[in-house]
Structure 1
Amino acid sequence: MRTNTNTRRLTLNAILLAMGLVLHQITPPIFTIKPDTTLIMLFTLMVINRDSYKTCLVAGIVAGIFAGMTSAFPGGQIPNVIDKFLTTNIMFLVMTLSYRLPFVRNLGDKVKDLIVTGIMMVIGTFVSGTIFLTAAQIIVGLPGNFTMLFMSVVVPAVAINLVVGVLIYKIVNITVQKAVLNV
């Protein structure tokens, strides 16, 4: 039975990462900002696999490669891989600590996961955007001022990723329950 559960979990992870890739490629900009669906799917996957650092780390590397493949930022391939790798490590710690917060710890599992997902989307998008811009600035240079890019791209992306990310998490969670995947 354990192998069956592992196969289901692996399949779900692969589907989520593939969906992130496809959505990242086809999603139009919202108010001139394109939501980073690979990041949204990565955080969703991390919440679902919160007990497995190894799974989250591998997913972060794969998400970085996928985001690099679909990056519209000139020279954004390597900064995307660096960003997702570092963001996954930082956000795994944030996620672990979030589940231990007093106001979260005593809630039901569904509410707890939803709150942690929101925390992940907000803090994770800030972390990811900062790491990406810093890596891009060092490796290929930025097409503008760091602060200007941060304020005009990362800050609006936080709001978009929060709304879209929580919605996607809820859809994935309902789908997993309905499909009786029980991962």
Structure 2
Amino acid sequence: MKLRNNIFTTLLLAIGFILHQITPGILGGMKFDFLLIFMIVSLLLNPKFENAILTGLLAGLLSAMTTTFPGGQLPNIIDKVVTCLILFFIIKYLSRIKINPVVIGLIGGLGTFLSGIIFLGSAAFITGLPVPMKMLITTVVIPTTIINGIGTVFIYGITKKAIKLSGIVLH
């Protein structure tokens, strides 16, 4: 894997991490999970297996360092790595069709939903959940899925435009 691609991935994740930290909550405290959005954008822009592993590990470590979920460090790492691997195969499968904003939004939403379910499942198994899983899915995972699906479309478009204007060549 090229060093340029690794640097690009880490830069995207760093931007997502910073934006996630400074973004205020909207819709009753819900907010875009910018780290997750940038993780998905990294996979869309560089759909290589090595990048999926790198992206999952880095995003998992960044999430683990800042989680406010009790005992959520290991579940964050598990969820990001597994989500990246699943999305890698989905993106590879969908590469046969033209990627448009609807597909990008669906991938962003699906990735967020998978991430939430995997996180809650692993957290339930490792440390237990503070409230029932069904309640967390309906009050946190589903609203975040919708918000991140929309956010992924915008961030992907902005990132593609920046890549084009700067002359960066990925792959």
Any idea what SS the aligned residue of 1:132 has? helix
Moved over 4 A (4+): none
1:140-179 aligned within 5 A: 140-179=127-166
Residue type at the aligned position of 1:68: A
Question: What residue is the counterpart of 2:93 in the other structure?
Answer: 97
- Normalised to the residue count of structure 1, the TM-score between the two structures is 0.86
| 1:45 equivalent in alignment to 2:28 | no
1:171 Cα deviation (Å)?
0.8
1:140 Cα deviation (Å)?
1.5
Supply the distance in 2 between the matched residues of 1:74 and 1:163 (Cα, whole angstroms). 28
Supply the distance in 2 between the matched residues of 1:95 and 1:9 (Cα, whole angstroms). 17
Any idea what SS the aligned residue of 2:26 has? coil
Verify the 8 A CA contact 1:24 1:70 in the aligned structure 2: no
Name which of structure 1's ranges 130-139 and 34-43 shifts more when overlaid on structure 2.
34-43
Verify the 8 A CA contact 1:125 1:158 in the aligned structure 2: yes
Say which one has the larger Rg. 1
**CA offset digits 1:94-123 (Å, max 9, x no partner):** 1112223xxxx2x4xxxx154442222111
1:9 Cα deviation (Å)?
2.3
Supply the distance in 2 between the matched residues of 1:47 and 1:38 (Cα, whole angstroms). 14
Gaps of 5+ in 1: none
Gaps of 5+ in 2: none
Question: What residue is the counterpart of 2:123 in the other structure?
Answer: 136
Residue type at the aligned position of 1:120: I
Of 22, 26, 43, the match for 1:26 = 22
Supply the distance in 1 between the matched residues of 2:12 and 2:71 (Cα, whole angstroms). 25
1:128 Cα deviation (Å)?
0.7
| 1:71 equivalent in alignment to 2:67 | yes
Supply the distance in 2 between the matched residues of 1:73 and 1:38 (Cα, whole angstroms). 16
Calculate percent identity across the aligned residue pairs. Answer: 37
- Normalised to the residue count of structure 2, the TM-score between the two structures is 0.92
Residue type at the aligned position of 2:125: I
Q: How many residues align?
A: 169
